[in-house]
Amino acid sequence: MRTFLDSDGMVARINELRSEKNAVILTHNYQLAEVQDIADFVGDSLELSIKAARTTADVIVFCGVRFMAETAYILSPDKTVLLPSLESGCPMADMAEAPDLERFKKKHPGAIVVTYINSSAEVKALSDICVTSANAAEIVASLPKDGKIIFVPDMNLGSYVQKVTGRDMILWQGFCPTHMRIRAEDLKRRIAEFPDAKVIVHPESRPDVINLADEALSTGGMLKFARLTDARQIIVATEVGMIYRLSKESPDKQFIPVSEQAVCPNMKMHRLETVLHSLETMTHNIEIPEEIRVAAAKPITKMLQGLQS
C-alpha cells in the first residue's frame, strides 16, 4: 500500500527519482509555485526549447502545456519526454488545425508561413519558420521584404509584430482566452492607482492593452525588465502565475497584476502529486510520428539557428 506523503515527503521522493532516472524538470513561468520550486529550470517557451535541445538528461519532465512538451520531443527524440497531466493543452494552439492551414496556404501561394510555437506539431510541419513571443518581431523583420507572410495562430501577437515591423501579414484568427480576459479598462484603472509604475504586457494581449504599455515582452523578457528597471512598482498584464516568479526573482519590487481573472487553467494542472506520479510511472509519454517530427523540427531549428547567427 502506498504511504501518504506530505509536501516535504513528495519533494524528497521527486528528488530521489529525478537522480535515479537522470531526469530534468523543465517548468514554464506560469506554473504553480510548488512546481516552480522543484524545477531544474524555469523559463519562457524559447528558453525551455533551448534547454530541451541541449540537456544531457535521459528524461525530461515537462511542466508546461502540451505543445511545449511536443517541442522538447521534436528537438530531443532520443529522450523520454513526460507531461505529468495529459489534459494540459493550449486552447490557442487548438485554434489552428493542419488541414485548415493546408487550405489557407493554397489560397495564398508563395506566402511565408511564420508559426508561433504555441501550435501543434502537425501545424509546425507545414510551416517555414517558428517564432516565440521573445523573437517574433526580430525574425519577421529578417524575412525577405517583398514576400507576403502568413502568421499562425495568434492574431494579437501577429498584429503587434505587423505594427512593429511594418510587414505585409495575413493573420490567422486564433487567440489566447486567458490574455483576452485582460481589458484596457482594467489596465487604465491600475495605471490611475499606480501612476509611477511601469507597465509590461505579454504580446498575446489585445492591441488596446498593448498600446497602453511601456513594453510588450515574453515572460522571460518580463523577468529581465524587472531586474534592470529602476521602477519600484511594475504593472503586469499576463497570466497571474508570473507574479510569483517575478516577486521571487526581484523581491525588492512590487508587481501589480492587471486582472486576477487572467488564469490559464491548463498551466495549473501540474502539481507535486502529478510530477511524482509521472516520475514513478513514467507517464505521460509524449511522442510524435517520425515523419511529422522531422518536418516540424525544420522550422524550429531554423528559428534557433537564426538566433545564433
Sign of torsion, CA 14 16 19 22? negative
Asked if residue 65 binds ligand SF4 (CB under 6 A), the reply is: yes
Contact 220, 232 (CB under 8 A): no
For ligand SF4, the closer of residues 13 and 271 by Cβ is: 271
Segment near ligand SF4 (CB under 6 A); pick from 4-12, 85-93, 138-146, 215-223:
85-93
Give the burial string for 93-112 (b: 16+ CB within 10 Å, else e).
bebbebeebeebbeeeeebb
Neighbours of 161 (CB within 10 A): 28
Asked if residue 201 binds ligand SF4 (CB under 6 A), the reply is: no
Contact 215, 200 (CB under 8 A): yes
Segment near ligand SF4 (CB under 6 A); pick from 90-98, 120-128, 187-195, 277-285:
90-98
Per the DSSP assignment, residues forming a β-bridge with 55 are none
Asked if residue 118 binds ligand SF4 (CB under 6 A), the reply is: yes
Among 134, 176, 182, 217, binds ligand SF4 (CB under 6 A): 176
Contact 120, 98 (CB under 8 A): yes
For ligand SF4, the closer of residues 59 and 264 by Cβ is: 264
- C-alpha to C-alpha distance for 275 and 103, rounded to whole angstroms: 39
Partner that binds at residue 44, options ligand 13P, ligand SF4, none, CB closer than 5 to 8 Å by kind: ligand 13P
Residue 233 backbone dihedrals phi, psi, to 5 degrees: -125, 135
Residues in region 262-301 near ligand SF4 by CB under 6 A: 264, 266-267
Partner that binds at residue 198, options ligand SF4, ligand 13P, none, CB closer than 5 to 8 Å by kind: none
Among 26, 92, 213, 242, binds ligand SF4 (CB under 6 A): 92
Strands laid side by side in the 129-131 sheet? 129-131, 112-116, 149-152, 169-171
Segment near ligand SF4 (CB under 6 A); pick from 78-86, 137-145, 171-179, 225-233:
171-179
Give the x/- contact pattern for ligand 13P in 168-207, rule: CB under 6 A: --------x-------------------------x-x---
List the grid coordinates of 262. 487572467
Interface ranges with ligand SF4 (CB under 6 A): 65, 90-92, 118, 176-179, 204, 239, 264, 266-267
